[in-house]
Amino acid sequence: MSIAFVFPGQGAQTIGMGKALAEAYPAARAVFDEVDEALGERLSALIWEGEIETLTLTQNAQPALMATSMAAMRALEAEGITIDKAEFVAGHSLGEYSALAAAGALSLADTARLLRTRGQAMQSAVPVGVGAMAALLGLDFETVKAVAAEAAAEGEVVQAANDNDPTQVVVSGHKAAVERAAAIAKERGAKRAVMLPVSAPFHCALMQPAADVMAEALAAVEIKTPAVPLIANVRAEPVTDPDLIRALLVEQVTGSVRWRESVQAMAALGVTEFWEIGAGKALSGMIRKIDRSLAARQLGTDADVKAALEA
């Protein structure tokens, strides 16, 4: 059995996530304390007792989801399951930062601050209401790229942003162009086109101002060689060089999240089981749609950790 540790992205957040881990494992509690200190506020109070609308704000959701993933990672480590149990790490969008923190490439405090900056920069890159994202269900990535090219008008952007699985590709860009893409997709045989409840158009060219901010922020932090290779979102292949990782994290802000290809790449390299470390089970669902032969396990609570130990 060959395992990859994978880390969820935005959308997995829930009030109360990670609390059971923090109560069961002092090392998990310490993660939330360190993130609170790094940000200069009690993000943990928002995560466990706040309003979901506030937690869902991009600048809060990104460090909060990372903290929950790292709390689960520390709980696993407390039980003797360390990062070298994994052949690879990977994460969906912001989850790539969680993966790098888990693999020791980024410090926890730096990761929290980077994700706060990333969330703020992505939110402010495009005025609210100007951009949009839509999930196109039932079309493959190449078809959606062609749909996006057809839907783009002069002065308007729409791109294939997330290649999640064989049944779901997300487009991102100017709202009118995204709506045109959704209509064209239906004409091309899409089963559904669902506008997503997001506050900004992530992973498209409109995020260039945020990419510029992240280039400056990432230049100021130390990135070490990860303990296990990272399967990078924008390349869908293993990387370990710190300078390349830094460059790819900048590219990721405007580039497509190649999740389907990333999972296929890990499977081709021998991975048979994926552990989704943190909140939710969205990645596990995608993985099963990508390849039914692959096993997936969620690790977001103390009970999940105990079940993994027993297995």
Annotated active-site residue 174? The verdict is no
Beta-carbon contacts of residue 111 (< 8 Å; ≥ 6 apart): 63, 66, 70, 97, 98, 100, 101
Q: Count of CB atoms within 10 A of residue 23's CB?
A: 11
pLDDT tens, residue by residue, 248-297: 999 999 999 999 999 999 999 999 999 999 999 999 999 999 999 999 99
- At residue 116 the predicted structure's pLDDT band, cuts being 50, 70 and 90, is very high
Which residue is catalytic, options 44, 69, 93, 98? Answer: 93
Clarify whether residues 10 and 108 are in a common domain.
Answer: yes
Clarify whether residues 62 and 112 are in a common domain.
Answer: yes
Clarify whether residues 288 and 243 are in a common domain.
Answer: yes
Residue 154's pLDDT is 85
Q: In the listed set 141, 172, 198, which residue is the last one of a domain according to the structure?
A: 198
Q: What share of the chain has pLDDT > 90, as a percent?
A: 95
Range of the domain at 180: 131-198
Q: Which residue has the tokens 């396990």?
A: 297
CA–CA distance, 141 with 57 (Å, rounded to integer): 28
Annotated active-site residue 203? The verdict is yes
Q: In the listed set 141, 164, 198, which residue is the last one of a domain according to the structure?
A: 198
pLDDT tens, residue by residue, 200-246: 899 999 999 999 999 999 999 999 999 999 999 999 999 999 999 99
pLDDT tens, residue by residue, 118-146: 999 999 999 988 999 999 999 999 999 99
Clarify whether residues 237 and 264 are in a common domain.
Answer: yes
Beta-carbon contacts of residue 90 (< 8 Å; ≥ 6 apart): 4, 5, 6, 7, 96, 99, 230, 231, 233, 262, 266
- Report pTM: 0.96
Residue 257 per-residue DSSP state: B
Clarify whether residues 249 and 267 are in a common domain.
Answer: yes
Number of domains in the chain: 2
Which residue is catalytic, options 44, 203, 256, 262? Answer: 203
Q: Angle at the Cα of 145 (from 142 to 149), degrees rounded to 5?
A: 145
CA–CA distance, 97 with 65 (Å, rounded to integer): 10
Q: In the listed set 198, 225, 250, which residue is the last one of a domain according to the structure?
A: 198
Clarify whether residues 101 and 218 are in a common domain.
Answer: yes
Clarify whether residues 107 and 238 are in a common domain.
Answer: yes
Q: Which residue has the higher pLDDT, 311 or 85?
A: 85
Residue 221's CATH number = 3.40.366.10
Reading the block at residue 91, the tokens are: 């994460």
